[in-house]
Chain A
């Protein structure tokens, strides 16, 4: 068959006018997103939080950190925010950076600002790693259920039935108490907490991906791809996953907020990251004993959690509005 070769071929000039890409879908989505003020402010807060957390990791770690979150100054305990230290009783290396307790000190005289900086990185990594684990598990199980769901195991139950059953069982557990139980049995470490939160929160992503795959599998463009003799893996990763990711992305963004809250709650209850390391949850937990003497110990981490969680929720909802084709202006 040589008819295509025989056709007059119009040569596309390399780098010519035809190569200029039009606005991509991403740019279109971005323009749409920019119009949503609440979502934009969520994104801005998220970026600021990310920078603070990354900076906090650099500034509070090492042998001689710039902001030392673990330095105890018993003579300077429960100083209110913005108060100046008593230079006469402190050694030169104990004087806080900028010569001021920006967020005050706690009951051991540790600088709350330094501790908040250190805790920001914990919140960020717990949020992202836990949700990352949840999304990977959810996409895999949901994808298998949606694409290979009709395959049957031992002619008893379909793959789909098995996975949906597993999802329903996992959803039946009150997940916070499940996490509490597991964390109580495991050695306390930040990695265990990330993994446990991830392993108990993949069900939403799995359901989204399964539902999307079930409807995508019947779409004509998937049939056309099969008619072209393309492999299952090509079809799944080039056609189905990109089309199924929008709701997963949205739920992941909101899931990060949930994971941060869960970690803070665990730390508050004393099951979180072990004590010398500061997290927003255990600063809050310590602070509750001094609620009337030193209210900043509860209000500062409380507000921080509130603002970050709110920012992620607003960002996630903005993302959902943009990615939902029914809400988009199309012709």
Chain B
């Protein structure tokens, strides 16, 4: 939809290595590449869905963009600023523009703070508001996320999971950010509450012109919320494209197997049954060549040796697979 809008976030060849320390002196013995040269961009007002199995590095991508973990290499450009070249202090000034909502609604809230203190904290800590103005703003934020004002004095353990996640969202939008990383915001909630939270996020995106990076392993949720999606496997983006295009015409074998795994009620639609077995290989010892070759049903000799290049399939749709050459 938003193809003529300017790019808000550009991520180029983002890499994150976690050092593995061993022995008494904790020397660096090796490294784990959680994110391997990930490249994508997000336009203003758009939602990019980031999908992948547990442990594929999708959460790390979100945190590395916000520099909650320091990326090892790459380029992150947010509305003209090269984030990775900023000093920690300069970065802190820009953090108000980009926020995160995390997966676990209870551990995201300080158990010793009341809801009022949690939502007011961004304003208090940055010295932006106090007194009556602060109280009004906190009440307005609570209303925006659909919470009644009598919850102000409650503590996180007194709220339900969905209410907690609403408070997390209220805190994230408090400073009027432009960009939100939504790190599996609904996967700890039951289905009916998931729908409410997704609708709330959609309303906020419309009202506040927010841009989302929506991280999830739930393909039906991703399809519902995203404009474009990126599929990750073992640290790499294997396919990226507009959501309908990828769902209707998946190019990478991994995407095909993922989509085939969605339980479908639609009986007319005959999808090629495409199953893979085994586990994702360890990121400590990633396989050479294409990361997916150990499980790929269409594996060829080249896949085991050569890393596939990105192949363009359609408008804005590309995938990394030798079979597409």
Contact = CB atoms under 8 A, between A and B. Distances in A.
Contacts of B104: 220
Contacts of B132: 12, 14
A219 interface: yes
B163 interface: no
A228 B26 CA distance: 31
A12 B150 CA distance: 11
Interface in A223-280: 223-231, 234, 238-239, 242-243
B100 A223 contact: yes
Interface stretch (A3-11, A37-45, A118-126, A300-308): A3-11
B215 interface: no
Given A11-B136, A227-B95, A234 B107 contact: no
Contact of A10 (B122, B139, B157, B208): B139
Contacts of A331: 157-158
Interface residues of A, number: 38
A243 B111 contact: yes
A330 interface: yes
B99 interface: yes
Contacts of B209: 1, 3
A331 B122 CA distance: 28
Contacts of B140: 4, 7-10
Contact of A227 (B68, B107, B143, B173): B68
B89 to A, nearest CB: 10
B150 A227 contact: no
B229 interface: no
B110 interface: yes
B99 A228 contact: yes
A21 interface: yes
Interface stretch (A69-77, A154-162, A196-204): A154-162
B108 A224 contact: yes
B25 A156 contact: yes
A228 B92 CA distance: 8
Given A224-B171, A228-B99, A18 B112 contact: no
**Residues of B in contact with A, size category:** 35 or more
Contacts of A227: 66, 68, 95, 98-100
Interface string B78-118: 00000000000001111110111011100111111000000
Given A156-B25, A227-B99, A227-B100, A22 B176 contact: no
A230 B110 CA distance: 14
A226 B153 contact: no
A7 B143 contact: yes
Contacts of A158: 26
A243 B113 CA distance: 10
A155 B96 CA distance: 34
Given A7-B143, A243-B112, A18 B152 contact: yes
B122 A228 contact: yes
Interface string B1-35: 00000000000000000000000011000000000
A257 B152 CA distance: 41
A161 B26 CA distance: 9
Given A9-B139, A229-B93, A18 B149 contact: yes
A221 interface: yes
A219 B137 contact: no
B176 A3 contact: yes
Which among B63, B96, B100 has the greatest number of chain A C-beta atoms within 10 A? B100
Nearest to B178: A1
B69 to A, nearest CB: 10
Interface in B17-62: 25-26
Contacts of A21: 153
B268 interface: no
Contacts of A1: 176, 178, 208-209
B100 to A, nearest CB: 5
Which among A229, A230, A242 has the greatest number of chain B C-beta atoms within 10 A? A229
B245 interface: no
A150 B277 CA distance: 39
A25 interface: yes
A220 B108 contact: yes
Given A3-B208, A227-B95, A243-B112, A10 B149 contact: yes
B270 to A, nearest CB: 43
Nearest to B140: A9
Contacts of B126: 229
Nearest to A158: B26
Contacts of B144: 4, 7
A31 to B, nearest CB: 15
B295 to A, nearest CB: 31
B125 interface: yes
B154 A22 contact: yes
Given A3-B176, A18-B150, A243-B111, A220 B102 contact: yes
Nearest 9 A-B pairs (CB), nearest first? A229-B95, A229-B92, A1-B176, A220-B108, A22-B153, A3-B208, A220-B107, A12-B135, A9-B140
Given A21-B153, A221-B107, 11 more contacts: A3-B176, A3-B207, A3-B209, A14-B135, A22-B154, A157-B26, A223-B63, A223-B102, A228-B121, A229-B92, A238-B121
30 contacts: A1-B208, A3-B176, A3-B208, A4-B208, A9-B140, A10-B136, A10-B143, A12-B135, A14-B135, A22-B154, A25-B155, A157-B25, A157-B26, A161-B25, A219-B107, A221-B109, A223-B102, A223-B108, A224-B108, A227-B95, A227-B99, A228-B121, A228-B175, A229-B91, A229-B93, A229-B94, A229-B126, A230-B121, A243-B110, A330-B157
